[in-house]
Structure 1
Amino acid sequence: MARFQSFDDSTSPSQGPQRIAKLRDELARRGYDGFIVPRADEHQGEYVPKCAERLAWLTGFTGSAGTAVIFRNEAALVVDGRYTVQAAEQVDTSVISPVQMAETSAEDWISTHLPSGGVLAYDPWLHTADSVKRLEQAVSRAGGALTPVDINLVDVIWIDRPLPPQAPVRPHPLDYAGESAVSKLERIRKKMADAKVDALVVSDPHNFAWAFNLRGGDVGHTPLPLGYAIIPREGRAKLFFDPAKITNEAGAAVGDLAEFVPINGFQGALDDLGQRGGKVRVDSATGAVALIRRVEAAGGAVDVGADPISLMKAVKNEAEIAGSRTAHRRDGVAVARFLAWLDREAPKGALTEIDAVEALEAFRIETGALKNISFPSISGAGPNAALPHYRVTSSSNRPIKRNQIFLIDSGAQYEDGTTDITRTVVVGEPSAEMKDRFTRVLKGHIAIAQVVFPKGTTGAQIDSFARKPLWEAGLDFDHGTGHGIGSYLSVHEGPQRIAKTGTTPLEIGMMLSNEPGFYKPGAYGIRIENLVLVEPRQILGGDREMFGFETLTFSPIDLRLVDTSIMTQDEIAWLNAYHAQVRDKLASKLDAETKAWLEEATRPVG
């Protein structure tokens, strides 16, 4: 049994029609023509508590991103390229139509399907000001109207909706945080002064968790305490939580820096902010439009912009970097033990995707330091590997067969660092096509690992380095090349990313993933993921400040899938040097049998 991951089928396509019918009854009763259901909570989080899984409960779709639009006679589920196949499998397509975002956005679908004069309702706590503006434009094009609701219409019909979580809030030790909350608040207030704002409403729980060195457990696999903070430019900050979550240790750690206030006092505190005047910064990425309207209704001036904490949190300090290196070496040992076990056991033909997840978790538990996994492991055999965000369940569980590809994307939460790694292996013999595709993904991975770029470069500018070897064969992948990562926080952290949408300049100390892939629907999928750290690079004779990446993840890359004939000598040298580092960092921590396996798995090639 896995301790940290469930394989239950939590939803079923058969539930959708009945629940959507109940929602339509509620629409008719209230005089609305439609309701929009985003995959979000009040903090616009990617990972949300069970009580906020409205999209999954209503439609059956369990992906981490998507939007349902329910009209009286038709409905759509808009998803990105990661979830095209999953959406079609998880919802009843006779009632709700899966729509790919690349072809039609939710707003475009609304503008062409909302009846003229129709009223579209939405929950203002689940949308930012920018998303509401786009919705207003969409309903305007349709000749309709957009209206907020006081209570989410899904909550009205969700009779057995789970209660909000109440995990205890605890301090994050300074040895791991690397900077005191006092120091962080001083820097935050300087940013506020530079921006000429008088108060900051912190709607992203990751940000106040980082700022006050607190951690919790309100969201699966992420040590996150859900709540809000208000930081005035002068005076004591306020942290808004359910009182049941506050431990004595958290109270002592925060001390005089902030006052803990019951969460039901948050909206009143927004009223007070508005009445006091001054400029109030609300985060454009996570601040609900309901927040903004509450402050404005009380007479306040809202400045919608970036929460300065997001960028500060993204740049890791020396303690966080040292902790991450230690965490990755520890995790590398667990993953090496797992891959060696998989190589021994998979050819016997008895292993399944769930067996692999449970074994990897067990090896991580044996480190003695595992707090949780950092997300539900993606364990895909054969055609399931072609689903980038596949989640194995008891009903989808496939055997790991010979001459097929097996992909496992997993991560761990250690108190000193968060990890995320994907390895793709073959059981038996790969086809020539598999080797070609794997090697092209590897070439893209190496290109990112080796890239050198000037200060000010964004992730969007280097994203194509990972795609070029695939593009040359008429291929591509439908997800970003890399995401930011937190320090014992979320495995997905912005604003930095390596993607077409990555507009934040990369800075020294930022951590990201390097994970190009290739997916052949119904056949196999490939992804190679390491985490990297932005570091300075000295270029002899250069006149620009230059950066590059230090690779943090150490684990063998399956040489059985590598075709060196389409690699350059430089790429082969990188692979051999990387594998030498893997041996150097892991071998001394392994038993004799696994060490011998590692020596063979990382042998020089070329």
Structure 2
Amino acid sequence: MSQASNRLDALRATLKQMGVDGFILPRGDEHLGEYVAPCAERLAWLTGFTGSAGMAAVLPDHAAVFSDGRYITQMDQQVDAAAWERLHLRETPPPTWLATHGATMRIGYDPRLISESALRPFVDAGLDLHALPANPVDRIWTDRPAPPCTPCVPQPVQWAGQDSHAKRAHIAEDLRNAGEAAVVLSDPASIAWLLNIRGQDVPYTPLSLCFAIVHDNARVTLLIAPDKVSGETRDWLGQDTTIQPPEALEDALRALAPARVRVDPASNALWFIQILEDAGATVIRKGDPCLLPKAIKNPTEQEGSRRAHLLDGVAICRFLHWLDENATRTAELEAATRLDQFRAASPDYRGESFPAISGAGPNGAIIHYRVIPETDRALQPDEVYLIDSGGQYPFGTTDITRTIWTGPGQPGDDVRDAFTRVLRGHIALARARFPEGVTGHALDALARHALWEGGLNYDHGTGHGIGSYLSVHEGPATISPVFRPVPLMPGMILSNEPGYYRPGAFGIRLENLHLVQPSTIGEAGRQFLEFEVLTLAPFDRRLIDPARMEAGETAWLDSYHARVFERIAPHLDTPARIWLRAACAPLHAG
């Protein structure tokens, strides 16, 4: 019997002991974050699936793992098909699957791991749901790692751009105006922004895992392991911040009753609402008040991002020069490691902002492919190589994707056609000017139009928000076919990353980061916005078909490449500078 079957059998036995027939297991922790500590990797431990988005559903005779289009191929590779069905969560939503196979069964869930919003579809499906007092996976995971306890450190105002007192005063005023006594925060990124603190409790994102209650008088109750907080950090937080251990969270919540307390039903676990309502508090279901101001970067954060992208661009260009000379003498893991080393040459580099996606040939068609020694593939002559990576710097976070032709021959017409369509979509979005109030949903088709003309598409969003030395994936605004009612606003940083993926053959994705800025155009009384491109690295001219480019697209590309050369070349040695000059030459220069 496989390990997957053994763990599944143990879970089913535990569920029976707990009085339920089935169980819903989201991918995430008590903070509902994208990146989690090893002790919270329950979905990976149970199923083998290591993607950053997914869910499992377990019944007595059926079990399934669900994820979106980014991870379908990865899920097929990692999850034992003999034990688990492997399903696309949009094509077969978990509530539908459970209603089909377990309509009359008692389905358990951990209220600390799922939000009220995320549970709603299961309620609407008519399932018999039961909140469990403990997580059944934790009962059978005998060698579960200990919770992380890295130092919580100050984020200086020279990088944050605004002190915590001003941020808290703004949030407190919002609470008072709404007649709310407090807001509960469980997103460590919101707390990190609000209190100007950082940590290393989870991979890739500089967070300290903690909870916070912000009161209408601007005082904060911070629930964090005391061992994480040094005397320096306590002084930094100030007398208006009371530190309590996480074990005191339930009592701190109950003490808020009978007041009106704000809880974000999407970013807070349902447990918070259940505890507050049980204590007699009035729960006001409203969004996390930190999300929007955190997304709108202040001038200091904007300048920090430009600085981070200059450092990152130097590392990327050095890497691309190295790759041009060594493509067919390297492999996916070595290439990703080399890029990390080029970034690490800067003393300001703090590590990757997510695991690098380094995919050669058919592996590049796996949208969120993560190379491991077992899948490491040597780059072959005359194929497509995709590298998607990012860096953390104390003043900014980066994310960039480039698609490279390994040579020495010329790419086929089908590859050049697909690449050029992706590039044209990227340029269309980069050149966009749009009225204030427009959402990312309204812009998404710009990036897809050239692909659609050729009957092509991609199964992921076009853009996500980026934090300021925080998460590489940050809300609340996106550029996506999925409508979200948050307009793009000056100061927001979003990615522009259309792509195309041919399973078993190659993948193409081209990504820059954009800063939303006021535009100089627009009639009186109507403000327009546009994008400032932050990323500084050339696109591979070998994969571009100039004949398929329109004049305005070519002009944009030539102007962008001229700017890349101007900003990056002074920081390169002579061989890399010579390479960059050729890489940034005007498109029709040969």
Alignment TM class, shorter chain as reference? over 0.9
Paired residues in the alignment total 585
- The question of 1:21 aligning with 2:13 is answered no
2:110 is the alignment partner of 1:128: no
Alignment partner, residue 376 of structure 1: 355
* Counterpart in the other structure of 1:425: 404
Give how far 1:107 is off: 1.0
1:173 aligned residue: 156
Per the alignment, in what secondary structure is the counterpart of residue 370 of structure 1?
coil
* Structure 2 residue aligned with 1:597: 579
Does 2:29 align with 1:41? Answer: yes
Aligned mates of 2:237, 2:541 — CA distance in 1: 50
Per the TM alignment, residue 542 of structure 1 is displaced from its structure 2 partner at its CA by 5.7
> 1:96, CA displacement in angstroms?
0.5
Of 287, 293, 314, which aligns to 2:268?
287
**Counterpart in 2 of 1:251?**
234
Q: Is the 8 A contact 2:172 2:218 kept in 1?
A: no
Residue 550 of structure 1 aligns with which residue? 532
1:367 matched to which residue of 2? Answer: 346
Selected match of 1:490 from 471, 478, 498: 471
Instruction: Determine if the alignment matches structure 1 residue 460 to structure 2 residue 447.
Output: no
How far residue 369 of structure 1 moved from its aligned partner, in angstroms, is: 1.2
The amino acid across from 1:407 in the alignment is L
Give 1:222's aligned residue: 205
Amino acid at match of 2:22: G
Alignment of 1:129-144 (within 5 A): 129-138=116-125, 140=126, 144=127
Shift of 1:31: 3.0
Matched, 1:99 2:106: no
Which of 231-240 and 474-483 deviates more? 231-240
Q: Is contact 2:522–2:528 with CA below 8 Å preserved after alignment?
A: no
After superposing the two structures, state which structure 1 stretch, 218-227 or 191-200, moved more: 191-200
Q: Whole-Å Cα distance in 1 between the matches of residues 34 and 16 of structure 2?
A: 31
**Match for 1:135: what amino acid?**
F
- Counterpart CA distance in 1 for 2:439 and 2:124 is 30
Deviation at 1:235, TM superposition (A): 5.7
Of 126, 129, 133, the match for 1:150: 133
Say which SS state the counterpart of residue 238 (structure 2) adopts: helix
Q: Which residue of 1 aligns with 2:382?
A: 403
Letter in 2 for 1:600: A
Match of 1:314 in 2: 295
| Structure 1 residues 149-199: Cα deviation after superposition (integer angstroms, max 9, x where no partner) | 111010010000011110110000110000000111111112222333210
Match for residue 415 of structure 2?
Answer: 434
**Cα deviation digits, residues 261-314 of structure 1 (max 9, x gap):** 11111111001012xx22100112211111111111111000111011101100
Instruction: State whether residues 405 and 525 of structure 1, in contact with CA within 8 Å, keep that contact through their aligned partners in structure 2.
Output: yes
Instruction: Indicate whether 1:564 and 2:546 are aligned.
Output: yes
Offset at residue 540 of structure 1 (A): 5.4
**1:357 is aligned to 2:336:** yes
Displacement after TM superposition at 1:14 (Å): 4.6
For 2:360 and 2:587, the matched residues in 1 are separated by 27
Say which SS state the counterpart of residue 445 (structure 2) adopts. helix
**TM superposition score normalised by structure 1:** 0.95
Superposed displacement of residue 83, structure 1: 1.0
The Cα shift of 1:78 comes to 1.3
Amino acid of the residue matched to residue 196 of structure 2? N
Root mean square deviation of aligned Cα: 1.2
- Give yes or no for contact 2:161–2:298 (8 Å, CA) kept in 1: yes
1:441 and 1:406 mapped to 2: Cα distance? 15
Q: Secondary structure at the match of 1:81?
A: coil
SS of the equivalent of 1:373 reads: coil
Match of 1:344 among 321, 325, 347: 325
- Cross-structure match for 2:519: 537
**CA shift digits 1:294-343 (9 cap, x unpaired):** 11111100011101110110000011000100110011000000000000
What is aligned with 2:491? 509
Aligned residue identity for 2:396? G
Q: 1:30: how far off?
A: 2.7
Check whether the contact 2:478–2:494 (CA below 8 A) recurs between aligned residues.
yes
1:523 lines up with 2:505 in the alignment: yes
The CA deviation at 1:350 is: 2.3
Question: In structure 2, do the counterparts of structure 1 residues 236 and 542 end up closer, same or farther at CA, with 3 Å as the change threshold?
Answer: closer
Shift of 1:476: 0.5
Asked if structure 1 preserves the Cα contact closer than 8 Å seen for 2:171 and 2:218, the reply is no
Structure 1 runs, 4 residues or longer, greater than 6 Å off = none
Q: Are the equivalent residues in 2 in contact too, given 1:376–1:391 (CA < 8 A)?
A: yes
The one-letter code of the counterpart of 2:432 is V
Greater mean alpha carbon deviation, residues 388-397 or residues 541-550: 541-550
Give the Cα–Cα distance (whole angstroms) in 2 for the partners of residues 333 and 323 of structure 1: 16
Deviation string for 1:102-155 (max 9, x for gaps)? Answer: 211111111111142x100000001111222322222x2xxx511011110100
Write out per-residue CA displacement over residues 426-448 of structure 1, whole angstroms, 9 at most, x where no aligned residue: 01121111110000000010011
The reply on whether 1:213 has 2:200 as its aligned counterpart is: no
Task: Quote the offset at 1:246 in angstroms.
Answer: 0.7
Aligned residue identity for 1:220:
P
> What is the aligned partner in structure 1 of residue 279 from structure 2?
298
Instruction: Tell me the residue number matched to 2:166.
Output: 183
Cα contact 1:283–1:304 (8 A) shared by 2: yes
Question: Given residue 94 of structure 2, which amino acid in structure 1 is its aligned partner?
Answer: A
Return the alpha-carbon distance in structure 2 between the equivalents of residues 280 and 508 of structure 1: 30
State the secondary structure of the residue aligned to 1:225: coil
C-alpha separation in 2, matches of 1:245 and 1:539: 50
1:422-468 Cα shifts (integer Å, max 9, x gaps)? 01000112111111000000001001100001111001110111001
Q: Does structure 1 retain, via aligned residues, the 8 Å contact 2:168–2:218? A: no
> Which 5+ residue runs of structure 1 have no aligned equivalent?
1-12
CA distance in 2, matches of 1:482, 1:264: 38
Partner of 1:6: none
Q: Which of 481, 487, 498 in structure 1 is aligned with 2:462?
A: 481
Distance across 2 between alignment mates of 1:194 and 1:533: 31
d(CA) in 2 for partners of 1:288 and 1:31? Answer: 22
1:67 and 1:79 in contact (8 A); partners too: yes
Deviations 1:536-579 (A, max 9, x none): 00225465210010000000100000011111000000000000
